[in-house]
Amino acid sequence: MLQLATLIRHHACFTPHRIAVVFEDEQLTWQAFAARVSRCAQLLRALGIGPGDRVATALGNCRELLEIYWAVPTVGAVLVPLSPLLMASGLASLLRDSGAACLLTQRAMLPVVEQVLAELPALGSARVLLVDGAADGYGDYAALIAGFPDRPLEPALVGPSDLFNIMYTSGTTGLPKGIMHSHFVRSMYCTLFASTWRMSPESVVLHTGAIVFNGAFVTLMPCFFLGGRYVLQRQFDACEAIEIIARERVTHTMMVPAQIIAVLNAPNFSPAKLSSLEMILSLGAPLYQEHKDQLNRLLPDRFYELYGLTEGFWTILDKTQSVRKAGSVGSPPFFFEMRIVRDDGSDALPGEVGEIVGRGPSQMLGYYGRPDLTEQAIRDGWLYTGDLGYTDDEGYLYLVDRKKDMIDSGGVKIYPRDVEEVVARHPAVREVAVFGVPHEKWGETPVAAVILHGDAQVAAEDLREWINQNVGARYQRVHAVQVMRDFPRNAAGKTLKREMRDAWREARGKGG
């Protein structure tokens, strides 16, 4: 049997007085954290939640969410983390799809929750608990768990193939899909990432983004596995993150590219304040070479990059290779295999672009309730990523772009990332997103949306001219430059090019 839920009890037994969790001004030892996890698990059992039941959360970052994450597997239930930014239709859809038997949420979500409860007869108000205070007809989480003793709770028996969680994709393309991870897969997150990130029980891990998304588990699972210290920021703020790193002597952190860029440009940024860091991990989207070079120059020997899918394939650029293989997203770790596949299904040669296909011990069980989509994604045991890339002669992977983001201009393929790398070199540009828009003559043509540095002043037309002078080919020239205050992003911090493309079409019509 595989008992991930025993990790917390183990640390409480053997290192009871070490700090386990830091959230704002609160510090919890392993003993105190284990007691809260136990009381939460007892509450779930009292509500009738048992093995296989789905427990949904719709919470922002908080200490309670961390204890729920470990209480749910203690009773053998299945974790379903959902974003607190969901609207009523989205929340109802995911609660219905997952078959949630319980929802833990916050008072700010009540107007949305009350809209959907009528549509979900299996989920009554008695099984909706609020972590931040009582409300008529809903359970007060804090008051309820206070009524249970601190005694250790024997975890429910689960096997390696039993379901640990359903993670819904963040929805940058299409409708969210429920990705099923087993207890075995999450144990691989514990062990493989602990080794890869060179973590130890003395490590201090900071997480700045929303922990409802799978990327958070890349550092959360190994930290809790080893018994390190997990520091959680309520919501990302670059200046505050820098001060937390300095104060807590943080050793490991992961951020999406937009957060890394914000830290590098924060007014209180200094390498001295970040000197304790042993790892700065970028994931979720490509970090452009301009920013990688800046990071490696200011904070050398710390940068890692992860390319991966929640569905279960990874490559990792190790910090020892971050300069030598600067344009790469690394290589598959131990026990993983990768292929680059042509359209006809044959394997591409080094340097030849094709679809990235991989397999390994982190692979999902499938999409919940969607065997049709599972069959499309996993073929003969291989996960087809939908991403385009190539390998060099040493087997290191280089991303080209998403298949769906590729621009077809007059029959010529344009990869937005190639253009974005050029735009990112302009000194006035802080962030860039290139996407295709309709064009009467060429079918599609690229547009560059940019966010400028705070004190930068450059006209959109002047920037367009500079870009078109510096791209590598005539067909990569951009049709227009759109200066924006910020990009539309999902709650995981990923840029939503689809929304920008749709907004452009709506504003200008389909003629380009």
Helix (H) or strand (E) holding 211: none
pLDDT tens-digit map of 288-312: 888 999 999 999 999 999 999 999 9
Q: Let me know if domain 190-402 sits in CATH 3.40.47.10.
A: no
The whole-number pLDDT of residue 454 equals: 83
91 vs 121, higher pLDDT:
91
For residues 138-155, average pLDDT: 91
Does residue 282 contact residue 252 with C-beta atoms inside 8 Å?
Answer: no
For residues 463-487, average pLDDT: 89
How far is Cα 285 from Cα 109, in angstroms, rounded to an integer?
Answer: 29
- Asked whether the predicted pLDDT for residue 222 surpasses 80, the reply is yes
CA proximity to 287, closest of 37, 39, 495:
495
How far is Cα 258 from Cα 381, in angstroms, rounded to an integer?
Answer: 34
For residues 2-17, average pLDDT: 92
Does residue 242 contact residue 265 with C-beta atoms inside 8 Å?
Answer: no
How far is Cα 412 from Cα 494, in angstroms, rounded to an integer?
Answer: 27
The whole-number pLDDT of residue 176 equals: 77
Q: Which residue has the tokens 């700010």?
A: 108
pLDDT tens-digit map of 233-285: 999 999 999 999 999 999 999 998 889 999 999 999 999 999 999 999 999 87
pLDDT tens-digit map of 26-75: 999 999 999 999 999 999 999 999 999 999 999 999 999 999 999 999 99
CA 422 to chain centre: 26
The whole-number pLDDT of residue 509 equals: 62
The whole-number pLDDT of residue 171 equals: 45
Helix (H) or strand (E) holding 414: strand 412-414
Quickly state the pLDDT bin for 173 (edges 50, 70, 90).
very low
Enumerate residues 6+ apart whose C-beta is below 8 A from 220: 69, 205, 207, 211, 230
Quickly state the pLDDT bin for 175 (edges 50, 70, 90).
low
CA 471 to chain centre: 31
Residue 247: how many CA atoms within 13 Å on its side-chain side?
Answer: 11
Could you tell me where the DSSP H helices lie in 197-237? 217-226
3-state secondary structure of 135: strand
User: What are the domain boundaries of the chain?
Assistant: 6-12+29-158, 190-402, 406-508
Strands 382-391 and 407-409: unpaired
Based on the number of CB atoms within 10 Å of its own CB, is 344 exposed (0-12), middle (13-18) or buried (19 or more)?
Answer: exposed
Q: How far apart are the first and last CA of the chain?
A: 59
Structure tokens that stand for 477 in this block: 């020239």
3-state secondary structure of 54: strand
Percentage of the chain beyond pLDDT 90 is 71
* Entry pTM: 0.84
The whole-number pLDDT of residue 146 equals: 94
The whole-number pLDDT of residue 98 equals: 93
- Asked whether the predicted pLDDT for residue 170 surpasses 60, the reply is no
Amino acid occupying residue 219: T
Q: Which residue has the tokens 């392993």?
A: 30
The whole-number pLDDT of residue 26 equals: 96
- Asked whether the predicted pLDDT for residue 415 surpasses 80, the reply is no
Got the DSSP string for 437-455? EEETTTEEEEEEEEEE-TT
- Asked whether the predicted pLDDT for residue 491 surpasses 90, the reply is no
For residues 127-142, average pLDDT: 90
Domains 6-12+29-158 and 190-402 share a fold: yes
CA proximity to 128, closest of 101, 154, 168, 94:
101
How far is Cα 500 from Cα 480, in angstroms, rounded to an integer?
Answer: 13
The whole-number pLDDT of residue 512 equals: 44
> How does DSSP classify residue 331?
B
In the chain, the largest separation of any two C-alpha atoms, in whole Å, equals: 72
Strand order in the sheet with 178-182: 139-140, 128-130, 100-105, 54-58, 78-82, 163-168, 178-182, 366-367
CATH class in words for 6-12+29-158: alpha beta
How far is Cα 317 from Cα 326, in angstroms, rounded to an integer?
Answer: 9
How far is Cα 77 from Cα 45, in angstroms, rounded to an integer?
Answer: 10
CA proximity to 442, closest of 416, 469, 482, 407:
407
CA proximity to 123, closest of 104, 147, 109, 108:
104
Q: Let me know if domain 406-508 sits in CATH 3.10.310.40.
A: no
3-state secondary structure of 407: strand
Structure tokens that stand for 498 in this block: 């689809």
Enumerate residues 6+ apart whose C-beta is below 8 A from 232: 21, 22, 23, 61, 63, 66, 206, 207, 211
pLDDT tens-digit map of 364-379: 999 999 999 999 999 9
470 forms beta bridges with none
Report the sign of the C-alpha dihedral through residues 151, 141, 87, 120, in that order: positive
Report the sign of the C-alpha dihedral through residues 245, 250, 254, 260, in that order: positive
The whole-number pLDDT of residue 30 equals: 98
**For residue 338, how many other CB atoms are within 10 A of its CB?**
20
- Asked whether the predicted pLDDT for residue 194 surpasses 80, the reply is yes
Got the DSSP string for 261-320? HHHHT-TT--TTTTTT-SEEEE-SSPPPHHHHHHHHHHSTT-EEEEEEETTTEEEEE-GG
- Give backbone dihedrals phi and psi of 407, rounded to 5 degrees, phi first: -100, 130
How far is Cα 460 from Cα 452, in angstroms, rounded to an integer?
Answer: 11
How far is Cα 18 from Cα 253, in angstroms, rounded to an integer?
Answer: 20
